[in-house]
Amino acid sequence: MTSPPPTSPTPTNTPPQSQPDTSPKPTLEPVWRIQPPMAADIDAKARKRRLNAEAARRSRQRKEESVRALEAALESVTKERDALKQDIECQKEQVKLYKEAAEKWKEVAEMTTKSDGGGIKGIKKE
């Protein structure tokens, strides 16, 4: 008996073609990373915390100063606006008085022109 011939030749000594392995490979942590933190590490963390707390405190102070400056500027601008509104009211009152005075002078001028014949004294009509 004979065995059937293989349908496709497959070489046994050539490695199969595959894509490069891009999956992360597990790594072992060095012993010095596994050990408990030393006093220097604890001091460094405490120092970082202290520096961060100081930076946060300075940041809050800057914000408070900024708010105070803005409030002072707002108060100043509000006072200036109120003073300008008051000036406008005074000027409106003056305009009203000037208009009233102009109307009175206009009436006086009309009355004098009617009474003296429509001319201005000292000027002759031709």
* Residue ranges covered by each domain of the chain: 38-113
**Longest CA pairwise span in the chain (Å):** 159
Which residues, other chains included, contact 25 with Cβ-Cβ below 8 Å and sequence gap of 6+?
A: none
Would you say 119 and 113 are in contact if contact means Cβ atoms under 8 Å apart? yes
Tens of pLDDT along 28-64? 665 555 666 677 778 888 999 999 999 999 999 999 9
- Enter the tokens of residue 105: 């002078």
Question: Quick one: average pLDDT of 63-68?
Answer: 98
Give the confidence band of 66 by pLDDT, cuts at 50, 70, 90.
Answer: very high
